[in-house]
Amino acid sequence: MRDPVTAYVALGANLGDAAAAVKDAMARIAQIDQTTLARASSLYRSAPVESSGPDYVNAVVEIRTRLAAPDLLARLQAIEAGAGRERPFRNAPRTLDLDLLLYGSGRIDSERLQVPHPRMQQRAFVLVPLAEIAPGRVSPAQLKSVAGQSITLVPSDPGHGA
């Protein structure tokens, strides 16, 4: 059996009840076989980037998994499909988007998967929640480079947790 790898997954949604979709996806990620949810960021609201539609609700989770990266990606895509994810065009509004950001210290460059995620350094909606749960993974310079992008903390719902 392979040793567990620490990986980070970005979550986002902007159709329907986006906050509920992101929270549900966190719970589903925690149920992936050979995978443990270690930490979850707060929820953040951000404007669409290179897209249109309502604002997104975003978060990042840290997991520990024994799955190989392609197998983990397949499980994440199954969760997206279960949430009604469609891919009519690049950056289309979505019911759920799950991106594998980092997989240990690995670098993967295949047709299906690129790790580290190729655009994560350009996105406040990835770097801000990642910095919340893994500050050593995001430098002050990286945060400064996305400081002009609008991102706000979603107030937590005391009845449901964040």
Q: What CATH number corresponds to the domain at position 82?
A: 3.30.70.560
Mean pLDDT of the residues in the chain: 88
66 a catalytic residue: no
112 a catalytic residue: no
Tell me, what amino acid is at 92? A
- Is 160 a member of any domain? no
- Is 57 a member of any domain? yes
How high is the pLDDT of residue 85? 56
As a whole number of angstroms, the distance between CA 46 and CA 134 comes to 20
3 a catalytic residue: no
Catalytic residue among 45, 85, 123, 137: 85
97 a catalytic residue: yes
User: Which pTM value belongs to this model?
Assistant: 0.90
Number of domains in the chain: 1
pLDDT in tens, 14-24: 888 999 999 99
Catalytic residue among 28, 75, 99, 123: 99
- Is 43 a member of any domain? yes
Catalytic residue among 28, 45, 94, 123: 94
Query: Whole domain around residue 10: which residue ranges?
Result: 5-153
